[in-house]
Amino acid sequence: MQGRLSSRLNQLERFHQERKEAEELRKKFTTAEGFVPQFPTADQWDKFAPLTWIKTGGTVKPFKPFQVQQDLVQSICNNQYTIILKSRQVGASETVCSYLLCRALTEPGFSAVVFSKTATDSGSLGKRIRAQAASISNTELEFTTESNSELSFRGLGTLYFLPATPRSARGIPSVSCVVLDEAAFLEGVEQIFTAVQPTMATLGNDPVKGGKLIMMSTPNGLGNMFSNLWHSVGEDWNRVQIHYSQIPIYNKDPKWAEKTKAKSKLSDRSWKQEYELDFISSEAQIYDPELVALACNGQCIETGFVGREYIMAIDPAAGGNDYWCSLVVDVTKAPYRVVNVFRERHKSSDHCIRQIIEQAEDFYPSKVIIEKNGVGAIVSEVLSQKLAKYMVEPYNTNRPNKITNTDRIAYLLEREELLLPYEPFHQELLMFQQKESGVREAGEGAHDDSVMALALAMQACATTPTADWLDLV
Query: Under CATH, to which class is 284-462 assigned?
Result: alpha beta
Q: CATH assignment of 29-274?
A: 3.40.50.300
Answer for the pair 472, 412: CB distance below 8 angstroms, yes or no: no
Who has greater pLDDT, 30 or 14?
A: 14
Of 23-32, 138-147, 250-259, 378-387, which one has max mean pLDDT? 250-259
Average pLDDT of 24-35? Answer: 43
- The pLDDT value given to residue 4: 55
**pLDDT over 70 at 206, yes or no:** no
- The pLDDT value given to residue 230: 87
Least confident of 48-52, 203-207, 213-217, 401-405: 203-207
- The pLDDT value given to residue 140: 67
- The pLDDT value given to residue 372: 84
Who has greater pLDDT, 464 or 251?
A: 251
- The pLDDT value given to residue 282: 43
Q: Report the amino acid identity of residue 312.
A: M
- The pLDDT value given to residue 466: 56
Which segments of the chain belong to CATH 3.40.50.300?
29-274
Which segments of the chain belong to CATH 3.30.420.240?
284-462
Who has greater pLDDT, 385 or 161?
A: 161
Average pLDDT of 234-249? Answer: 90
Average pLDDT of 47-72? Answer: 86
Q: Report the amino acid identity of residue 146.
A: E
Of 180-184, 227-231, 382-386, which one has max mean pLDDT? 180-184
pLDDT band at 35 (very low <50, low <70, confident <90, very high): very low
Nearest to 128 by CA among 153, 95, 104, 163: 95
